[in-house]
């Protein structure tokens, strides 16, 4: 039972100088707004915080400080994705691309190219909605349609899923599990979609190298950048390209291994 938070003047006297009509006012009436606020805060934490497990298990780190998982959202993007694939090949780097279903349907050959080059492709929903605001039925449909399109193009359905904007909901875990999907978040989100310059984004990605130099802890980073844009095709991601062109050789020289998400969590850790 919650302790009473009423002033003594309201038992049965006055509350803030006003007469009390009921000398036994239920403390839950006063506590309800506080409980609601706490619940809203917990929900926001579970929906947004990358490492939160409130709405189901998530992958947000690699299982070794030596493993770096570079992930791309919002593709495939015909004007930029091939450039990223060539850049990754230059450093023998594997990555994970979370694809929007409607774009994958437009570019099935590009989906196949991801797989042919040793990258993993993941589910990023069919149309990139805010899943915290969509109901259970649409959430299931968004995941299912994307899963089918990518599976048909790639030859196998994805094993991993990233929610748009990283927003989860209480009804997400069930349809994701039914499709065999594991949810992936991140440790590093440098904000490449709003980068004003190459150097701004290069600086924002610096903490990954700082952690690699310290080699602290038993886990490594999952970096989230974008090769496309959820609201249009052929988006310019040249700042992202420039930042990766700068950091890939430096991350490699620090001894980091570029892995897909599946390799990032595979046992035993290396």
HEC string for the chain? CCCCCCCHHHCCCEECCEECCCCCCCHHHHHHHHHHHHHHHHHHHHHHCCCCCCCCCEECCECCCCEEEEEEEEECCCCCHHHHHHHHHHCCCCCEEEECHHHHHHCHHHHHHHHHCCCEEEECCCCCCCCCCCCHHHHHHHHHHHHHHHHHHHCCCCCEECCHHHCCCCCCHHHHHHCCCEEECCCECCCHHHCCCHHHHHHHCHHHHHHHHHCCCCCECEEEEECCECCECCCCCHHHHHHHHHHHHHHHHCCCEEECHHHHHCCCCC
Q: Is 226 in the active site?
A: yes
Q: Is residue 205 part of a domain?
A: yes
Most confident of 1-15, 46-60, 61-75: 61-75
Q: Is 141 in the active site?
A: no
Out of 128, 226, 230, 239, pick the active-site residue: 226
Q: Is residue 141 part of a domain?
A: yes
Q: Is residue 270 part of a domain?
A: no
* pTM metric for this prediction: 0.83
Q: Is residue 38 part of a domain?
A: no
pLDDT at 16 over 90: no
pLDDT at 4 over 60: no
pLDDT digits (tens, 9 = 90+) for 163-183: 999 999 999 999 999 999 999
| 251: containing domain | 58-265
The pLDDT > 90 percentage for the chain reads 76
Q: Is residue 171 part of a domain?
A: yes
pLDDT digits (tens, 9 = 90+) for 131-154: 999 999 999 999 999 999 999 999
Domain count, the chain: 1
CATH at 237: 3.20.20.370
């Amino acid at each position: 039972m919650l302790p009473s938070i009423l002033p003594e003047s309201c038992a049965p006297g006055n509350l803030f100088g006003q007469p009390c009509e009921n000398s036994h006012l239920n403390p839950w009436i006063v506590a309800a707004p506080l409980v609601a606020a706490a619940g809203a805060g917990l929900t926001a934490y579970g929906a947004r915080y990358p490492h939160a497990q409130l709405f189901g298990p998530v992958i947000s780190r690699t299982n070794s400080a030596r493993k770096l998982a570079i992930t791309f959202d919002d593709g495939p993007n015909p004007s930029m994705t091939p450039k990223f694939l060539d850049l990754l090949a230059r450093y023998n780097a594997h990555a994970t691309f979370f694809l929007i279903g409607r774009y994958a349907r437009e570019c099935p050959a590009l989906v196949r190219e991801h797989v042919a080059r040793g990258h993993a492709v993941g589910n990023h929903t069919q149309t990139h909605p805010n899943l915290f605001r969509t109901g259970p039925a649409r959430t299931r449909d968004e995941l299912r349609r994307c899963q089918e399109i990518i599976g048909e193009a790639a030859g196998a359905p994805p094993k991993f899923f990233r929610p748009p904007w990283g927003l989860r909901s209480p009804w997400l875990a069930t349809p994701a599990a039914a499709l065999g999907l594991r949810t992936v978040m991140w440790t590093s989100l440098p904000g490449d979609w709003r980068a004003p310059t190459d150097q701004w984004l290069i600086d924002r990605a610096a903490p990954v190298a700082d952690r690699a130099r310290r080699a602290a802890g038993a886990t490594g980073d999952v970096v989230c950048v974008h090769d496309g844009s959820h609201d249009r095709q052929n988006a310019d991601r040249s700042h992202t390209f420039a930042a990766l062109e700068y950091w890939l050789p430096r991350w490699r020289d620090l001894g980091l291994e570029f892995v897909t998400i599946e390799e990032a969590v595979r046992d035993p850790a290396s």
